[in-house]
Amino acid sequence: MADSSPSSTTVSRTALLLLRVLTFIFLFIALILIAVAKQTDDNTGEKIKFSDFYTYRYMISTIIIGFVYNLLQMGFSIFTVVSGNRVLSGDGGYLFDFFGDKIISYFLISGSSAGFGLTVELRRGAPSNSFTDKAHASASLLLIGFLFTAMASTFTSFALSKKTNS
């Protein structure tokens, strides 16, 4: 009787796809939250938005870079899971996944850290408001996106080591 359980390669490809989808979702929500964060200054009546702060601009840039990378990798992962073949064959594909995941995860954690730092500074001595609450939530979601990308990086590390050992 044949064993009908999926191979470890199929399981890891599916898990990697799931991690990429989760990263995509969290980055998408983080992008929406920071993009819609607006507040009116009580003293001047001036509208405050994320683009008024370089740190939040950096944070949104890291979200967009991570978002685009994950969209690309999701397409590659879906193709791999459905067809069983890799889009980028050979060692180049494994190296792209490995280094891409490492670099993007560092971007994501730096964007999250920057967002948390500025939000803490803006909240110092002032009451919490919807602007800083949305910015804090966006930085938190970006941090979760980093965690999923770091987990995906572990899978690509294993895939690279299997490829180089075979």
What is the structure's pLDDT at 5? 55
Question: Count of alpha carbons within 13 Å of 150, Cβ hemisphere only?
Answer: 10
What distance in Å separates the CA atoms of residue 24 and residue 17, rounded to the nearest whole number? 10
SS3 state at 42: coil
Domain boundaries, the chain: 24-165
CB-based contact 134:122 (threshold 8 Å)? no
* More reliable by pLDDT, 59 or 128: 59
Residue recorded with tokens 């939530």? 137
What distance in Å separates the CA atoms of residue 104 and residue 153, rounded to the nearest whole number? 10
Beta bridge partners of 49: 38
pLDDT tens readout for residues 112-163? 999 999 999 988 977 778 899 999 999 999 999 999 999 998 888 776 666 6
SS3 state at 38: strand
> Which of 8-12, 15-19, 56-60 shows the highest mean pLDDT?
56-60
Residue range 40-48: mean pLDDT, rounded: 81
> Which of 9-13, 64-68, 78-82, 97-101 shows the highest mean pLDDT?
64-68
**Residue 84, both tokens:** 């069983």
Is the overall model pTM greater than 0.75, yes or no?
A: yes
What distance in Å separates the CA atoms of residue 64 and residue 28, rounded to the nearest whole number? 9
> Which of 65-74, 82-91, 119-128 shows the highest mean pLDDT?
65-74
Q: What CATH number belongs to 24-165?
A: 1.20.140
